Copies of this chain bind each other. A is one copy, B any other.
Amino acid sequence: MPQTKTIKKIVEKIFLNKGLKLKHSKLCAKALINAELVGAPSHGLSRLKMYCERIDKKIINKNPKIKIRKISGSIAHINADNAIGFVAAQLGIDLAIKNAKKNGISLVAIKNSGHYGLSGYYAEQAAKKNLISLCFTNAPPAIAPHGAKKTLFGTNPICFAAPTATKVPFVLDSSVSMINRGKIRVAAKLGKKIQLGVALDKNGNPTTDPKKALQGVQLPIAGFKGSGLAWMVDILSGVFTGGNHGGKVKDPFDDFSGPQNIGHLFIVFKPNLFVKDYLKRIKENIKRIKKLPKLKGVKKIYYPGENKAARFKLNLKKEISIPSNILNEIKMLNKS
């Protein structure tokens, strides 16, 4: 197995060879490797080949002319010109951080973007700059609206991050499906089964076959509640931003007929707008929750993001573990 640094350099080089700028290639490689290190391989190197294919087919713009429209000190709109999602989203969160630092709150909407990886990756960056953030993005159809038997909503995560009094921020990044679509994709790629109760096949029957699940319907959390949350995210990141919405976001793996035009929305604000002692308050909040009596078998209560940060720290020191078929894909891409 290769070293993290080595594989990151290879991924950078692959993007560079595909025609992306050096800065953009580094940024994409960093985001993909981060997903591996935090334990979300579904959003990591298993997507590299897909990104490269979309660049080859010119439906990801390798040399985008990204336009930023400043609406006020707090509000900006980015037309990403079909840039790879990582580049568009990084620009967006950087701007949202800058504007929030200056004006207390910022709202940055992005249209004509693509899949940007993990929402938590961007929210965490804001938290590490001592800001609270909400990030929304839509995704290709995966979940059926409540009452429908056809998918339309993406797994549309709700993502929230807040600084804590430690180096590890609170980062909630929760898709509104029972499991995320990437996990089903990885299972399909590795020939593994998925658990029962998270998806139906195209005929509406429960299935543990990830391939059948991908053709069928994923189940939302809590029925109409999860469906409603997915709809909210579609409005915020699609209808509102100028991105595609209502089931029109193309599946990046299966549909090469054009760009995705995904929308993203970042809402960022300073944690000490209303209280002087935010860090003391969040520390006390987490302390109270952590010291609650625990269920049998539970040793510790974790806040969202804590586990991912621990995995990141641990994985950074180790050789990176990549399934052989994905390693082969990377080798092929590096040769071509």
A302 within 8 A of B: yes
Interface stretch, picked from A249-257, A289-297, A311-319, is A289-297
Q: Are B221 and A274 in contact (CB under 8 A)?
A: no
Contact A132 B275 (CB under 8 A): no
- A229 close to B (CB within 8 Å): yes
Closest to A232 in B: B160
State A294–B217 Cα separation when bound (angstroms). 13
Binds B, one of A41-49, A82-90, A145-153, A327-335: A145-153
From residue A298, how far is it (CB to closest CB) to chain B in Å? 4
How many residues on chain A are close to B (CB under 8 Å)? Answer: 72
**Chain A positions 106-126 with a Cβ under 8 Å from a chain B Cβ:** 107, 109, 111
Q: Which of B234, B285, B294 contacts A285 (CB 8 A)?
A: B234
Contacting pair B284 A104 (CB below 8 A): no
Q: A228-B174, A240-B275 are in contact. Are A285 and B245 (CB under 8 A)?
A: yes
Shortest distance between the CB of A267 and any CB in chain B (Å): 7
Q: A149 to chain B: which residues have CB within 8 Å?
A: 292-295
Q: Contacts of A284 on B, CB cut-off 8 Å? A: 246
Kindly state the separation between the CA atoms of A51 and B221 in the bound complex, as whole angstroms. 34
**Residues of B contacting A273 in the complex (Cβ-Cβ under 8 angstroms):** 71, 75, 77, 107, 109, 240
In the bound complex, CA of A275 to CA of B112 (Å): 13
Q: Fill in one digit per residue for A167-178: 1 if any B CB lies within 8 Å of its CB, else 0.
A: 000101010001
Please tell me if A304 contacts chain B, counting CB pairs below 8 Å. Answer: yes
Q: Report A158 CB to chain B, min CB distance, Å.
A: 7
Question: Given the complex, which residues of B lie within 8 Å of A235, measured CB to CB?
Answer: 132, 160, 162, 170, 282, 285
Minimum CB–CB distance from A24 to chain B (whole Å) comes to: 24
- Chain A 220-234 against B: per-residue CB contact (8 Å), 1 yes, 0 no? 011011101101101
Known: A162-B235, A231-B172. Is A148-B289 also a contact (CB below 8 A)? yes
12 contacts between A and B (CB under 8 A): A72-B103, A132-B235, A147-B294, A147-B298, A147-B301, A148-B292, A148-B295, A170-B235, A172-B229, A231-B303, A240-B273, A241-B275
Closest 8 CB pairs of A and B: A221-B222, A148-B292, A246-B288, A147-B298, A246-B285, A147-B301, A228-B304, A172-B228
Contacts A104-B107, A148-B292, A239-B282 aside, 17 further interface pairs with beta carbons under 8 A come to A75-B105, A105-B107, A111-B274, A134-B134, A147-B298, A148-B301, A158-B158, A172-B232, A174-B229, A224-B304, A231-B304, A232-B304, A238-B285, A239-B278, A240-B274, A240-B278, A245-B281
